[in-house]
Structure 1
Amino acid sequence: MRVLVKGAGVAGLTAAFEFATRGAAVTVAETRPGLDGNASWFAGGMLAPWCERESAEQPVLDLGRDAAGWWDAVLPGQVTRAGTLVVAAPRDAGELDRFASRTSGHRRVDEDEIAILEPDLAGRFRRGLLFPDEAHLDPRQAMAALHDKLAAMGVEFHFGTDARHVSGFDRQIDCTGMAAVDDRLRGIRGEMLILRTLDVSLSRPVRLLHPRFPLYVVPRTYHNFMVGATMIESQSTGRVTARSMMELLSAACALHPAFAEAEIVEAGVGVRPAFPDNLPRIEALGNTVAINGLYRHGFLLAPAMARQAAELVFGHDKPAEFAHESDGQRRSA
């Protein structure tokens, strides 16, 4: 089977892997000149299904709980399994209780244990929640490593290519996100910063709860920290706004005041595709299967969605709520 994957974001790369491992001859076509610049490039890389359940539906937890294992198996050494720490200022203790009531897979930690988990946060927070089974990765490193692995497996990549002009394939897997022709999709703009400081060290993603502007800080290599992210109903890909910049920096300094002296390495914007219910979809029309609507859960949900898409094409059953056939027809390999 010859398969064309349209899009080289995280959905496209994971789909290419799932089809290639099933014996398909896979080609990936991407309109951008390289891997950078798409929504996946600006992702946080948190594999945190239990934390995400605070604002997401149960399927996000169900689909995402095995994501860390998938990434770890496919790209050994890319995943850090240190959990997630959630904290709140004493005045926002109610936010911590609300977060705990809407999630599972956590245990409460006190000021002393927070100091053991993250010494640089010692004395700053009295209570927190530790989600020990969660993990994180660096999206850019993971995408580059997956690209290289796919190329070694024989997957062909064509960057700067309009897939509409490519033919001769048995199946097309549409992973084009906001570029897809689908009027149900809406854009969720996420703004992020990368800060560099030698004065803060974190071992895991830390989420700071705030009733107006919650924040997460994800440690990266070379003393860098990814700080994000806004959630604005907009398809604008313009630069980070002054308001968002101030809010992100203010929240980062609330987590640790040393961030006030950090270098701003990068400020970026990614527009995440979402359906009205914020849940992903796999839909088939003729010889095309579309994976879309991963919302803010790209690296968390992409492995499961890619696997389901491959199972759809190769004729296996999967949850009906995520795999839909247009015109009532399922097309098997």
Structure 2
Amino acid sequence: MRVLVKGAGVAGLTAAFEFATRGVSVTVTETRQTLGGNASWFAGGMLAPWCERESAEQPVLDLGRNAADWWDAVLPGQVTRAGTLVVAMPRDAGELDRFASRTSGHRRVDEDEIAILEPDLAGRFRRGLLFPDEAHLDPRQAMAALHDRLAAMGVKFRFGADARHGSGFNRQIDCTGMGAVDDRLRGVRGEMLILRTADISMSRPVRLLHPRFPLYAVPRTDHSFMIGATMIESQSAGPVTARSMMELLGAAYALHPAFGEAKIVETGVGVRPAFPDNLPRVEARGTTVAINGLYRHGFLLAPAMARQAADLVFSQDRTKELAHETDRQRRSA
């Protein structure tokens, strides 16, 4: 079997891995000239199915609970398993209770334990929630490492290629996100910042709850933090707006005043594809199987969706084999 995977975002890369490990000859095409620049490139990289359940449906938790194990097995050393800390200012304590009521897999922590978990946040928050089984990774490092592993496995990459008329393949796996022709999809714009400051250290993603603008801060290497993210119903991939910049920086300052002196290393925008119910889909259309609608859960859900796509293709082929064998037996009877 020869499979063409269209799109080198996290959905395409995980799909390529799933098929390659099953002995399939895989080619990945990407219209961009290099790896990155897509919505996956601007992701937070939080493998946080229990936290996401606060605003997502149960399938997100069910599909994502094994994501950290998948990434850890495929890319050893890329995953940090330190959990997620959720906090709120004293005036927003009700938001913390609401978050707790809509999630599971957490335990409450007090001011003293917050100081132990994140010393630089000592004295800033009285209560919080710790989700100990959650994890995170750096999306850019993970994508580069997965690309290199796939190349070592014999997967071919064609960057700057138009795969609309790919031929010579038994199957095409469409992982083009907002580039797919699907009237059901809508774009959800997410804006982020990368700040750098040596005055703050964090061991895990920290989510600051706010009734108007919740924020997450994810530690990266070199004293950097990914600060995100907005959710705007828009397909515009233009620069970060002044309003979003102020809200992101204001929320970061509320988390810790030292962010006020941080350097703004980068701003970015990713447009995430979403179906009306915000749940992903794996769908077959002839010889094409589409993986789409990962919304804000790309790194969390991509492994499970890639497995579903591969299972679907192999089950289709097995059904065809059985049908051909039955037909052959009838003709020879």
TM-score (norm 2): 0.95
Matches within 5 A, 1:52-91: 52-91=52-91
1:118-144 superposed Cα distances (whole Å, 9 cap, x missing partner):
000000000000000000000000000
Query: 1:189 maps to which residue?
Result: 189
Change (3 A) 1:331 1:17: farther
Paired amino acid for 1:53: R
Query: 2:150 maps to which residue?
Result: 150
Give secondary structure in 2 for the equivalent of 1:150. Answer: helix
1:137-184 superposed Cα distances (whole Å, 9 cap, x missing partner):
000000000000000000000000010132110000000000000000
Alignment pair present for 1:213 and 2:213? yes
Alignment pair present for 1:6 and 2:2? no
Paired amino acid for 1:211: P
Give secondary structure in 1 for the equivalent of 2:5. Answer: strand
Matches within 5 A, 1:309-324: 309-315=309-315
Query: 1:223 maps to which residue?
Result: 223
Paired amino acid for 1:309: A
Aligned-partner Cα distance in 2 for 1:232–1:297: 15
Query: 1:24 maps to which residue?
Result: 24
Aligned-partner Cα distance in 1 for 2:148–2:177: 22
Paired amino acid for 2:254: A
1:92-117 superposed Cα distances (whole Å, 9 cap, x missing partner):
00000000000000000000000000
Give secondary structure in 1 for the equivalent of 2:315. Answer: coil
Change (3 A) 1:57 1:331: farther
Alignment pair present for 1:266 and 2:261? no
Give secondary structure in 1 for the equivalent of 2:299. Answer: helix
Matches within 5 A, 1:28-47: 28-47=28-47
**Alignment: residue pair count:** 321
Aligned-partner Cα distance in 2 for 1:165–1:283: 19
Matches within 5 A, 1:94-173: 94-173=94-173
Asked if structure 2 preserves the Cα contact closer than 8 Å seen for 1:287 and 1:331, the reply is no
Aligned-partner Cα distance in 1 for 2:35–2:62: 28
Aligned-partner Cα distance in 2 for 1:257–1:233: 30
Query: 1:320 maps to which residue?
Result: none
Aligned-partner Cα distance in 2 for 1:40–1:283: 21
Alignment pair present for 1:281 and 2:275? no
Give secondary structure in 1 for the equivalent of 2:239. Answer: coil
Aligned-partner Cα distance in 1 for 2:183–2:272: 15
For structure 2, list consecutive stretches of 5 or more residues without a partner in the other structure: 323-333
Query: Which has the larger displacement, 208-217 or 29-38?
Result: 29-38
Alignment pair present for 1:244 and 2:244? yes
Q: Offset at 1:331?
A: 7.2
Give secondary structure in 1 for the equivalent of 2:258. Answer: helix
Give secondary structure in 2 for the equivalent of 1:28. Answer: strand
Paired amino acid for 2:201: S
Q: Offset at 1:245?
A: 0.1
| Rg (Cα) greater in structure | 2
Q: Offset at 1:292?
A: 0.1
Q: Offset at 1:332?
A: 8.0
Aligned-partner Cα distance in 2 for 1:272–1:142: 19
Q: Offset at 1:34?
A: 1.0
Aligned-partner Cα distance in 2 for 1:34–1:227: 24
Paired amino acid for 2:278: N
Paired amino acid for 1:26: V
Aligned-partner Cα distance in 2 for 1:211–1:331: 53
Paired amino acid for 1:87: V
Aligned-partner Cα distance in 1 for 2:321–2:144: 31
Aligned-partner Cα distance in 2 for 1:162–1:139: 25
Query: 1:327 maps to which residue?
Result: none
Give secondary structure in 2 for the equivalent of 1:199. Answer: coil
Aligned-partner Cα distance in 1 for 2:167–2:267: 38
Aligned-partner Cα distance in 2 for 1:122–1:157: 48
Paired amino acid for 1:27: T
Paired amino acid for 2:175: C
Asked if structure 2 preserves the Cα contact closer than 8 Å seen for 1:313 and 1:332, the reply is no
Give secondary structure in 2 for the equivalent of 1:194. Answer: strand
1:247-282 superposed Cα distances (whole Å, 9 cap, x missing partner):
000000000000000000000000000000000000
Paired amino acid for 1:145: A
Asked if structure 2 preserves the Cα contact closer than 8 Å seen for 1:314 and 1:332, the reply is no
1:40-60 superposed Cα distances (whole Å, 9 cap, x missing partner):
000000000000000000000
The alignment's C-alpha RMSD in Å is 1.3
Aligned-partner Cα distance in 1 for 2:34–2:135: 27
TM-score (norm 1): 0.95
Asked if structure 2 preserves the Cα contact closer than 8 Å seen for 1:286 and 1:331, the reply is no
Paired amino acid for 1:218: V
